[in-house]
Every structure is written in C-alpha cells, then in structure tokens.
Amino acid sequence: MTQPDFPPVRACIFDMDGLLINTEDIYKQCADNVLARHGRPPLPWVIKAQMMGVPGSHNGDVFHNWAQLPISRAQFEQEQEREQERLFPLCEPLPGAVRLLETLTGRSAKSPERAGSKEALVEVALASSSEGYNYARKTVRADTRAFLDLIPPERRVLGDDARMVGGRGKPAPDMFVVALQAINASLPDGEKITPPECLVFEDSVPGVEAGRRAGMRVVWVPHPDLKAHVAGREKEVLAGRTGIVPIGDDHQLGEIGDGWAEEIPSLEDFDFGKYGIGVSG
C-alpha cells in the first residue's frame, strides 16, 4: 500500500494509564489481591486486554463473567477500592515519559517556576478514562504530579470531564475529539489543528482504535504482556480492526498497513523526526 504524505505533527495527545505512568500493573495487582482473597486465580491478559482503556471495565461484565467471584459486584468494588486507595499513590512515570513531555513542551518537570523554558515543539493534551478522583490519587508522588503538570489543566480530558457528557469512552473517538477541541480552544486566532496533524500515544488496543476512529495518527506502546497476548495481530491493532470491543461504525477504522500507526517498545524509542517534530541540541 502506498504510504500517505502526512503533514508535520502539531499536537500530541496522550493516554495516561500504562502509557505515561505504571498504573496498568497496579490495576492488575489490585484485582489480583481481591481475587486471591476469594480463592480465584490472577487476572489473565486475555481478559485484561479487553478492559484496558475502557471506562468502568474494572467492575464490568467482561471481568465478572470470567471471575465468577462468590461475592457481589458491590462488595468487589468496595474491596478493589481499598486496594486502589492503598496502591495508586505508588504510581510513577514509565521510562521515557518525563523526557518526552519535557522535550515536546520545552519545559522542565523539576522546576516549579518552569525557569529556562524553551519554545514548545507541539501542543499537548491528555485523554484518559481515569476519573478526577483517581487522577488525584495516581499523582500523589511529587515526580508523577510534576511531569503531568506539564500538560495544562484545561487540556486534561478525564473520564468524568464535563466536556465528555453524552460522549462515549474508548474505543469510540469522542475523548480524542474533545482533547483536540480543548487544544484549539486555547490557541490564538488562526489556523486550527486538524486530526491528521495530531499524534495519539496509546498503550491499549481500544485506545489505538479510538485514535484511529478520530482520524489521527497513533503510536502504540504496548505492555510486554499485552504484546505477547496479541502476537500475530499487530497489524490489526494498528488499523483499529481487532474488534475486541465492538461498537459499530466500521467506516471510521483504518486499513491494514495504511501507515497511520506504528508500534514502538517504549517512549524512549520515539522518533521525533519521523513526525516532523524538530528537536535541536
């Protein structure tokens, strides 16, 4: 397939859990702790892959149909909530995340006053299914909060964001569409950023699909265990065509090998030049 001629990237939109911070491992640990307490095995990746990035999935049908717990969903939610309250404050940045955001924004996470800031290379936003109270718990650590503060508050679109009222969670495109609207609303008058000028960073399969449905380019950074689970289907993931969480509207999806998405093993491996993002020094 002929590779399209893309414009330079003007905006980067980031997922958070499992992409910027290590919450996917912590989510699994929380669930595994409750499962073990009730004599059930650890959560397998064949199930977790269907839950990643999907709002409400940690207490949803996919999980409970597999888990077959001897307790009610309400009790599971209470026990999981206690585990998350205990473990979420341990969240920390994943490799390459701090450097990437600092480079893109031209600012330092270590300087509260942002002294010595350089000009931003692109606009940035966050699009996370996490709700506000969980975002606060996940950013208790000073270093975690500091680097996520490089993204302006008005450009952080969370699962309970008022701008998402009536909108759908991932794999629908709504969250990324709202994030781009937030970016454009904060820019001075002039030419607004279009979806093909946006680059989405995601770790989950539904998140990649959401980015593709939004008409944006995508960089997929999968957890090693997720990578192993979808081995042989990587091209389907990049096209948004796994069907893991079917929602219809297939006309929004990409095509196999269309060049709109790529996979990298870590944010440390991101190639700025490939996307027309100039980095000096």
Digit-coded pLDDT (tens) for 152-199: 999 999 999 999 988 888 999 999 999 999 999 999 888 899 999 999
Q: Of 12, 13, 92, 17, give the one whose Cα is nearest residue 53.
A: 17
Q: Is the pLDDT of residue 23 over 60?
A: yes
Q: How far from chain centre, in Å, is Cα 114? A: 25
Q: Which of helix, strand or coil describes residue 121?
A: coil
Q: Is the pLDDT of residue 112 over 60?
A: no
Q: Is the pLDDT of residue 279 over 80?
A: no
Could you state, in order of their start, the residue ranges of all structural domains in the chain? Answer: 11-22+92-273, 24-90
Q: Is the pLDDT of residue 1 over 60?
A: no
Pairing of the two strands 156-157 and 198-202:
unpaired
Q: Is the pLDDT of residue 269 over 90?
A: yes
If phi over 0 gives left and psi between -120 and 50 gives alpha, with beta otherwise, what is residue 243? Answer: left
If phi over 0 gives left and psi between -120 and 50 gives alpha, with beta otherwise, what is residue 7? Answer: beta
Least confident residue range of 65-69, 96-100, 187-191: 187-191
State how far the Cα of 149 lies from the Cα of 70, in Å rounded to an integer. Answer: 41
State how far the Cα of 263 lies from the Cα of 248, in Å rounded to an integer. Answer: 24
Q: Is the pLDDT of residue 63 over 80?
A: yes
Q: Which of helix, strand or coil describes residue 12?
A: strand
Pairing of the two strands 123-127 and 11-14:
parallel
User: Any idea what the Cα angle at residue 151 is, between residues 146 and 154, rounded to 5°?
Assistant: 125
Who has greater pLDDT, 81 or 110? 81
Task: Report the pLDDT averaged over residues 81-99.
Answer: 96
State how far the Cα of 262 lies from the Cα of 5, in Å rounded to an integer. Answer: 15
State how far the Cα of 28 lies from the Cα of 170, in Å rounded to an integer. Answer: 19
Task: Report the pLDDT averaged over residues 116-136.
Answer: 90
pLDDT tens sequence across 193-211: 999 999 999 999 999 999 9
Strand partners, 14: 126, 201
Q: Is the pLDDT of residue 19 over 50?
A: yes
CATH class of 11-22+92-273: alpha beta
Q: Is the pLDDT of residue 125 over 50?
A: yes
Task: Give me the residue label for tokens 């990587």.
Answer: 234
State how far the Cα of 237 lies from the Cα of 60, in Å rounded to an integer. Answer: 23
What letters, b where the CB count within 10 A reaches 16 and e where it falls short, cover 14-24? bbbbbbbbbbb
- The pTM (predicted TM-score) of the whole model is 0.92
For the chain, the distance separating the N- and C-terminal CA atoms, rounded to the nearest angstrom, is 35
Task: Report the pLDDT averaged over residues 107-117.
Answer: 66
If phi over 0 gives left and psi between -120 and 50 gives alpha, with beta otherwise, what is residue 108? Answer: beta
In this predicted structure, what is the pLDDT of residue 115? 46
Strands (E), the chain: 11-14, 123-127, 156-157, 198-202, 217-220, 261-263
Q: Is the pLDDT of residue 281 over 60?
A: no
pLDDT tens sequence across 215-242: 999 999 999 999 999 999 999 999 999 9
Pairing of the two strands 217-220 and 198-202:
parallel
Strand partners, 220: 202, 263
